Chain A
Amino acid sequence: MIELQTVVPFFADKAERLQEILDRYPPEGRRSALMPLLWEVQNAERHVSEARMHEIAEIIGITATEVKGVMSFYSTYHEHPVGTYHLQVCSTLSCALAGADEMVAYLEDELGIVNGERDREGRFSIQRVECLGSCGTAPVLQVNDTYYERVSRSRCVHLVEALRRGEMPTPWRERGGDTEGQEKARPFTVQQWSDAAAEGQGEPS
């Protein structure tokens, strides 16, 4: 409980932002602000601590237990800090057919941590997640909030190397289907990776 008294409230210096979030919902729906407030804290601190739950509960006028009840219902809120790069691998059917299990095995081997863990330096953490809605461009690896689609073995190797250097490559966008324009469907080859990198589209060289 000592912690709860000494921590500086998260929203102490963010009154404007707090008001903006509360104003999004009608007066009778003050509780609706719960999820956005949790996001706000987690985006800044990479997890939501007990102290923050108490703070949010007080803002909304519910108990901290209710806050925790809601938070634990969803899979993207974390009670413990995740790594600087939180690697989320979709493991549902379409991605599994495209090698998601192998990708997880590779990442676990390479980073020395297993599903649900964070490494000692706090750089990487791995989470197997369910369908990310990227079945057409499987397998997908979500790093923090960014989707990396059609992550082949070579792309995965490059991606991990880049993250180790502290770089988040700009994600390549592929739409597939009858998409027109730049993101027109094209079968993926490793050649394209280097072509795209040469064009300065952000892939690691």
Chain B
Amino acid sequence: MYRYMGVEGAHTLDFYRSHGGYDAARKALLEMTPAQVVDEVKASGLRGRGGAGFPTGVKWSFMPPVDARPRYLVCNADESEPGSFKDRYVLEDDPHQLIEGMLIAARAMSSTHGFIYIRGEYYLGYTRTVAAVQEARAAGLLGTDILGSGMSFDITVHRGAGAYICGEETALMNSLEGLRANPRLKPPFPAGAGMYGQPTTINNVTSLTSAVHIINKGAAWFASMGTDDSKGTKLYQISGPVKRTGVYEMPMGATFRELIYDFAGGPTMTPKAFIPGGSSTPMFPWRDEFLDMPMDYGTLAKNGSMLGTGGVIVIPQEKCIVDALYNLVRFYAHESCGKCTPCREGVAHWLPRLYQKLLAGLGTIDDVNLIQELANNIRGTAFCPLADACVMPVQASLKWFRDEYDYLAEHGVSRYPKSDWWQA
């Protein structure tokens, strides 16, 4: 999946084609029936790479039988989870891989039209994806009667405008329809009534690009990698104070230690914690038992966290955990859409203010307790997962680093005062 990242010219059709591009689409369109494509992806064990980890083949099979209605396929490229940046690289350096993945998904679900929703800030990715779609259209890979298969499918690239909530699939559909991006109530699920009320399936960028390799090399090959409940490879990302930050493609079930030490070269500052999969996943302290955990869906869920997008963030000892959490809480407060009460009042109003109070040295132990209580009460009560995404890391930080909160409340200053890490 990550073969051609950073290679000069990899985003062009000529390059992609001369490296075996669109062979999988040809196979899916000409040699396989839609049901066979779905079965192949089901058999591969591919799970959604956007964070929730829902089996992709099963999701595809939820689409109702073909009738006269349009059927939409939406690619969620509104990557905005702090710590994640894999989709940006795909959009910028290998957009044809995504288009091929969408062709395969469209074949599987007999989709009539596709949308790629790219977040507004990814301007380079947007322009390259638009150019790639135009190239593909000119080459007869999009449009009517693709490759002589009789299938018609075209793609519209839509540019978002900076809202984290658009990563939630029903909010994304609202945004695409030109509405405020508030999430919708489920059911009805998108497969029943999605975009413009029609059957719709929404997949993450790397779920779709994984399908290319499943069709190319077979479900058995894909399923031979990974662990029992998590198959294939995944693009893991690592940021924070380590030697070589970036994206690494690894089989699922590789351990954090392998990613952090073997691939990323180890931390450059004394670490004290790490976030396993994007900012909304609860953090772990820097201990062997957690570092040796395999990065798959099941293990992390069992340990009270999530694989999420696979964006690991290393937190150094010198970073005050309250300050780090305030940074994240502020993020969620900014991105809360204001639809439901727990999130609007709790996440967007009370939590950031309590953190500000603590960090200003005006807090007491009661405020720390109040943060804990708020987090417990918000969890599971909000309309969409955004509020949970905010309070779960808060709960985890209190579980592992309560002493730093208490120190700050008692002394009025942080145990680890802010220092300047801006590289000269």
Kindly list chain A residues whose C-beta atoms are within 8 Å of the C-beta of B7. 180-182
Kindly list chain A residues whose C-beta atoms are within 8 Å of the C-beta of B418. 101
B88 touches A133 (CB 8 A): yes
A93 touches B423 (CB 8 A): no
- CA A137 to CA B239, docked complex, whole Å: 8
- CA A62 to CA B256, docked complex, whole Å: 51
Which residues of B222-281 are within 8 A (CB) of A?
Answer: 237-241, 243-249, 263, 275, 279
Kindly list chain A residues whose C-beta atoms are within 8 Å of the C-beta of B319. 97
- CA A32 to CA B159, docked complex, whole Å: 11
- Known A-B contacts A69-B180, A142-B121; the reply to A94 vs B423 at CB < 8 A is no
Stretch at the interface among A6-14, A20-28, A196-204: A20-28
Of A99, A132, A137, the residue contacting B245 (CB under 8 A) is A137
Stretch at the interface among A110-118, A162-170, A185-193: A185-193
Kindly list chain B residues whose C-beta atoms are within 8 Å of the C-beta of A103. 422
B243 touches A102 (CB 8 A): no
- CA A152 to CA B421, docked complex, whole Å: 10
Does B202 reach chain A (CB closer than 8 Å)?
Answer: no
Kindly list chain B residues whose C-beta atoms are within 8 Å of the C-beta of A147. 124
B245 touches A178 (CB 8 A): no
Q: Which of A25, A102, A136 has the most CB of B within 10 A?
A: A136
B263 touches A135 (CB 8 A): no
| Number of residues of chain A lying within 8 A (CB) of chain B | 66
Does B156 reach chain A (CB closer than 8 Å)?
Answer: yes
Q: Which of B160, B316, B335, B421 has the most CB of A within 10 A?
A: B421
Does A60 reach chain B (CB closer than 8 Å)?
Answer: yes
Residue of B nearest to A177 (CB): B246
Kindly list chain A residues whose C-beta atoms are within 8 Å of the C-beta of B70. 26
Which residues of B66-92 are within 8 A (CB) of A?
Answer: 70, 79-85, 87-89
Q: Which of B2, B160, B239 has the most CB of A within 10 A?
A: B239
Kindly list chain B residues whose C-beta atoms are within 8 Å of the C-beta of A101. 418
Does A38 reach chain B (CB closer than 8 Å)?
Answer: yes
B 2-29 to A, binary, CB cutoff 8 A, 1 in contact else 0: 1111111000000000000000000000
Does B120 reach chain A (CB closer than 8 Å)?
Answer: yes
Q: How far is the CB of A56 from chain B (nearest CB, A)?
A: 10
Does B54 reach chain A (CB closer than 8 Å)?
Answer: no
- CA A39 to CA B175, docked complex, whole Å: 14
- CA A33 to CA B179, docked complex, whole Å: 11
- Known A-B contacts A130-B331, A175-B246; the reply to A76 vs B162 at CB < 8 A is yes
- CA A28 to CA B163, docked complex, whole Å: 24
Does A154 reach chain B (CB closer than 8 Å)?
Answer: yes
B179 touches A31 (CB 8 A): yes
A33 touches B178 (CB 8 A): yes
Of B120, B161, B246, the residue contacting A176 (CB under 8 A) is B246
- Known A-B contacts A74-B160, A153-B422, A153-B424; the reply to A29 vs B177 at CB < 8 A is yes
A178 touches B248 (CB 8 A): yes
B6 touches A133 (CB 8 A): no
Main secondary structure of the interface of B (DSSP, over half): loop
- CA A98 to CA B245, docked complex, whole Å: 12
- CA A138 to CA B84, docked complex, whole Å: 12
Of B179, B334, B337, the residue contacting A130 (CB under 8 A) is B334
Residue of A nearest to B180 (CB): A73
- CA A194 to CA B33, docked complex, whole Å: 56
Does B122 reach chain A (CB closer than 8 Å)?
Answer: yes
A36 touches B424 (CB 8 A): no
A31 touches B178 (CB 8 A): yes
Does B221 reach chain A (CB closer than 8 Å)?
Answer: no
Kindly list chain A residues whose C-beta atoms are within 8 Å of the C-beta of B159. 35-36, 39
- CA A142 to CA B93, docked complex, whole Å: 19
B121 touches A35 (CB 8 A): no
A94 touches B313 (CB 8 A): yes
Does B123 reach chain A (CB closer than 8 Å)?
Answer: yes
- Known A-B contacts A24-B156, A135-B239, A138-B239; the reply to A70 vs B331 at CB < 8 A is no
Does A49 reach chain B (CB closer than 8 Å)?
Answer: no
A135 touches B420 (CB 8 A): no
B315 touches A133 (CB 8 A): no
Kindly list chain B residues whose C-beta atoms are within 8 Å of the C-beta of A77. 161
Of B8, B178, B279, the residue contacting A182 (CB under 8 A) is B8
> What would 18 A/B residue contacts be, using CB atoms closer than 8 Å?
A36-B159, A75-B162, A92-B279, A93-B83, A96-B324, A97-B240, A97-B319, A99-B423, A133-B85, A134-B88, A135-B313, A136-B85, A150-B423, A153-B424, A175-B247, A177-B2, A184-B6, A187-B244
A-B pairs with the 7 shortest C-beta distances? A177-B246, A99-B422, A176-B246, A183-B6, A74-B161, A31-B178, A135-B239
Give me the interface of A with B, judged by CB distance under 8 Å. 24-26, 28-29, 31-36, 38-39, 60, 69-70, 73-77, 91-94, 96-99, 101-103, 129-139, 142, 145-147, 150, 152-154, 173, 175-185, 187-188, 190
Give me the interface of B with A, judged by CB distance under 8 Å. 2-8, 70, 79-85, 87-89, 113, 119-124, 156, 158-164, 175-181, 195-196, 237-241, 243-249, 263, 275, 279, 311, 313, 315-316, 319, 324, 327-328, 331, 334-335, 337, 418, 420-424
